[in-house]
Homo-oligomer: A and B are copies of this chain.
Amino acid sequence: MMTELRKDPVTNRWVIISAGRAKRPSDFSSKPPPRPSGVCPFCPGNEETTPPEVMAYRNDGEPPNTPGWHVRVVANKFPALMGTGDLSRQSEGIYDKMQGVGVHEVIIESPHHDQTLGTMPPQQVEKVLSAFRERILDLKQDPRLQYVLIFKNHGEAAGASLEHPHSQLIATPIIPKRVREEAEGARQYYDAKRRCVYCDIIREELTQTKRVISMNDHFVAMAPFASRFPFETWIVPRTHYAAFEETPTEKYASLARMVQETFQRIERVLSDPPYNVVIHNAPFGEDDRLHYHWRLEITPRLIRLAGFEWGTGFYINPTPPEEAAQHLRDAGASESRPASDPADETSKG
């Protein structure tokens, strides 16, 4: 059965209605779903339980869909969008809809079931980032697609249904509303000041320093000034690149180290919390090159959103980002623990 994209006539927000796997009332349990016991479909040896691989990094000479891979990308077995059909819009009375064309893939980040982005070696994180890049560059060539979202749900409270470390990719035929909103905000800033707002934010943060978690030659990890969530963390390139896939590959090792180290800090300070990761990336095309600036955003799921946030988009954050950054700075990381004042450490308890 087809999925359908439907447009809200007031806000112009698109919604994916997946009629193919329609859930009836009895499908919604107030209890968490039982853990799929036994076989993990993402573990080596179980390659036949997933759709065939789209790509994989594996030892030379090994055939596809067999063990021996380091990173493996497969189609999502239960896709929210599918890569077939055309994009013609249809009306239904006053409403607009279109077929749910798109791509939904899973990036299996490691053959090891229990690794996380904080515990795997930086070299492995770099392979994951390279796989992201390859998939984006490939999907960019499909003229029906306008955006690729790379994201990760870790832990049940963040929406993950499988434990094995994996990210996901959804490519959509429209630019999602929040992405367009961010690109539009950045454009307005650029039009007024002829500067990238994110470049200005980085300069400001490196001056104020109190929200900086760590930095290296190419990237900075920071808690944003208007953090919506406790311990919200951004990893941003210090040089202006609109898109993740445009960042020169020689900087990926540096990015991988920072990603690994940042997750290590978060896992330490918050005891392996549930979290979501989203790569905020420029839409395809040339329009947003000067004013958009990609970032990797990590949002630990420590508090539940409630009616107020839903109704207003106005978030209440009980942990000031300055304090969150301080905790994450103090946590250090195995490779590059920064100098910190022991007295201050004590006073933090």
Partner-B contacts on A (CB < 8 A): 4, 6-19, 21-25, 28, 30, 80, 92-95, 147, 149, 151-153, 156-160, 168, 170, 172, 176-179, 181-182, 185-186, 189, 197-198, 200-201, 204, 207-208, 224-228, 230-231, 269-271, 273-274, 276-280, 297, 299-300, 302-308, 310-321, 323, 327
Contacts and interface: CB of A to CB of B under 8 A. Distances in A.
In the A-B complex, the 5 residue pairs with the smallest Cβ-Cβ separation, listed nearest first, are A159-B306, A151-B307, A176-B312, A278-B311, A178-B313
Given A182-B10, A320-B17, A230 B307 contact: no
B310 A271 contact: no
Contacts of A200: 9, 94
Given A24-B327, A159-B307, A16 B225 contact: no
Nearest to A203: B94
A305 B274 CA distance: 13
17 contacts: A4-B320, A9-B189, A10-B189, A12-B185, A13-B313, A15-B226, A15-B314, A23-B318, A23-B319, A24-B323, A25-B269, A25-B270, A30-B273, A176-B313, A179-B311, A297-B311, A305-B305
Nearest to A19: B320
A272 to B, nearest CB: 8
Nearest to A21: B318
Given A23-B319, A159-B307, A168-B308, 4 more contacts: A10-B197, A16-B315, A24-B319, A93-B207
Given A314-B172, A319-B24, A304 B159 contact: yes
A208 B94 CA distance: 11
A302 B181 contact: no
B178 A28 contact: no
Contacts of A181: 11, 313
Contacts of A321: 17
Contacts of A157: 30, 304
Contact of A278 (B17, B176, B307): B307
Contact of A226 (B8, B152, B186, B319): B8
Contact of A317 (B16, B269, B327): B16
A316 B8 CA distance: 13
Contacts of A168: 307-308
Contact of A185 (B11, B19, B158, B302): B11
Nearest to A281: B311
Contacts of A225: 6, 8-9, 92, 95
Contacts of A228: 13, 15
Nearest to A270: B25
A306 B22 contact: no
Nearest to A198: B10
Contacts of A17: 226-227, 317, 320-321
Contact of A276 (B149, B152, B172, B307): B307
